[in-house]
Structure 1
C-alpha cells in the first residue's frame, strides 16, 4: 500500500489558478506565530518578495484581508493575521485531514483492484492545471453590464468603494454567461498599469485606484511598484526607474494606479 499511497498536498483553486496551497497556508501560519513576514518567509522558506506577492494575491481574492500591516509598537511594526485569516487557516487544515483520509481509502481500494499508475495520474493533473501570468487578480461581483453592440462594458465591484470597469467583446460576454450579481475575476497585467501622484490630473482611463505606495522593487531598467488600497487589497505596476524618480515614487507616497478598461481580462465561474 505504501507504494501507491497518495499524499495530501491540497490546493484550493478558482477559475484562474491556485488560491490556497500548502505553501501559502504555512506562510499564513508563520505570520500568525511570528508577526513578521520576513521571519515567516524564511521559515517556509520563500523569498521576501514572493511572500508579499502571495499575501497581495490572497488579500485581493478574499472577501476581506487575511493579513494586515501593523504600524508602531516596540518592534516598529510588522504583519498580523486577521481573525478571518485564522479562520481560513483552520478550515484549510480541517479539510486537509479529511482529504488525506479520503486519499488513504482510495489507495486501499486501488491496491485491492491491482494498483494503478500513480505517477502517470499526477503528470496528467499537472498538465491540465491552469495558471495566469497576470500580476493583479481581483475577485468581485458584476454590478453593471452595458451592451455596446460590438462589445460589452462590464463593471465589477471588488469592495464597498471600488469598482473595476472592463470592455470585452460580445462573444466573450456570451461565452462567460455574464449577468448582474455573478461572481467574476478581473485580471490586469502589471505592465498595463500606470501611475500618477497628481490628484488634479485628468485621465481618460476608466479605472483609477488611489492608494499608498507599499513597496518598490527596483530593477536595472524597470521598477515594480505595489500600492496598498484602503480596502486592504493592492495593485502592482511596472514602471521605469526614471518615471519613479520623476514622480517621487517611494513607500508612503499617495499615488493613483490607472489602467484602461480594455486592459482588463475577465474570468467567471460556470
Structure 2
C-alpha cells in the first residue's frame, strides 16, 4: 500500500484594505445572508450565535470601502438583511482566490514530499502559531490624513468616512516602525471597555478632554449579568461603535434603542496596524 502523506490545507485570510479578518466563516455568513435574507437565519446556517453574526457584519461594514450588508428595520415585513452588489462581488473574488490558493498548497505539498525537505505537518504547526488575533472589539480602516509630531508622541488622524475622523496618539518610535505617512492605509483598534458614553443635556454643556467624540444612535443593547454591550450607529450609515459599560450605567443614563448618545475615548487608547 502506498503511504499517504499529510496534506497542506488552509483557511484563506485576506489581508487588504478590508483588514486581516475576512476569512471563511465570515464569507459563509455573507453567503447565508444572501440566501436567507435574515441575519438570524444566516447565523443558524453557519452556525454562529445571533450576536456574533451581528458583530461580524458590523466589523466588515466598518472597514469595507463600500457596505457589504444592508439592513432595513421595522416596516410591515419586520425589516430584513440583504447583501449588496459589492458584497456579492467580494464573495466571488474570495472563492476564486480560495480555489487558486488550495491548488498552490497542493503543489507545495507535492514538492515537499518529493524533495524530502520537511513534512507538511511541520509547516501547518508553524502557520497556526503565526496566526494573529486581537481582542479589540472595534476595528476600523482608513488613510492617514494628518500627522502632528511632538517631542515624544505623534498624533495621527485617520479618515474613516467623509464625516468621521479618528485620532490616535502613538510614540515616535511606533510611528517610524509603522512607516506612517500621509495617505497610508492603517487599521485602528479600540477596545469596547475604553469607550465612555455620554447623554447630552440641552441645559448643560458637557466638556470632556478626550480627543475622540463620535455622535451616534443606539442600535442594540446586549445586557449581561454585570456589564452591557451597547452598539451605536455612527453618522454616514456604515460604521458602528461598540462600548461595554455597566448595567447600572445603562439604567442611570436611561439608554434605549434609538437614543442619541456621544461615544468618547482617548487618542492613546487607539492602537494602529499598518497595511502594506
Unaligned runs of 5+ in 1: none
Contact kept? 1:64, 1:84, Cα under 8 Å: yes
TM-score of the aligned structures, taking structure 2 as reference length: 0.91
Q: 1:252 aligns with which of 249, 252, 258?
A: 258
**Closer, same or farther: CA 52–9 of 1 in aligned 2, 3 Å:** same
Report how far residue 39 of structure 1 moved: 0.4
Report how far residue 88 of structure 1 moved: 0.7
Greater alpha carbon shift after TM alignment, 252-261 vs 200-209: 200-209
Greater alpha carbon shift after TM alignment, 12-21 vs 30-39: 12-21
RMSD: 2.1
Q: 1:268 aligns with which of 259, 271, 274?
A: 274
**Closer, same or farther: CA 264–8 of 1 in aligned 2, 3 Å:** closer
Contact kept? 2:17, 2:141, Cα under 8 Å: no
Contact kept? 2:112, 2:119, Cα under 8 Å: no
Q: Which residue of structure 1 lines up, in the alignment, with residue 239 of structure 2?
A: 233
Q: Which residue of structure 2 lines up, in the alignment, with residue 52 of structure 1?
A: 54
1:68-147 → structure 2 map (5 Å cutoff):
68-114=70-116, 116-147=118-149
Q: Which residue of structure 1 lines up, in the alignment, with residue 196 of structure 2?
A: 194
- Alpha-carbon distance in structure 1 between the residues aligned to 2:197 and 2:64: 25
Unaligned runs of 5+ in 2: none
TM-score of the aligned structures, taking structure 1 as reference length: 0.93
- Alpha-carbon distance in structure 2 between the residues aligned to 1:61 and 1:23: 17
Deviations 1:240-265 (A, max 9, x none): 11111111212221211111112111
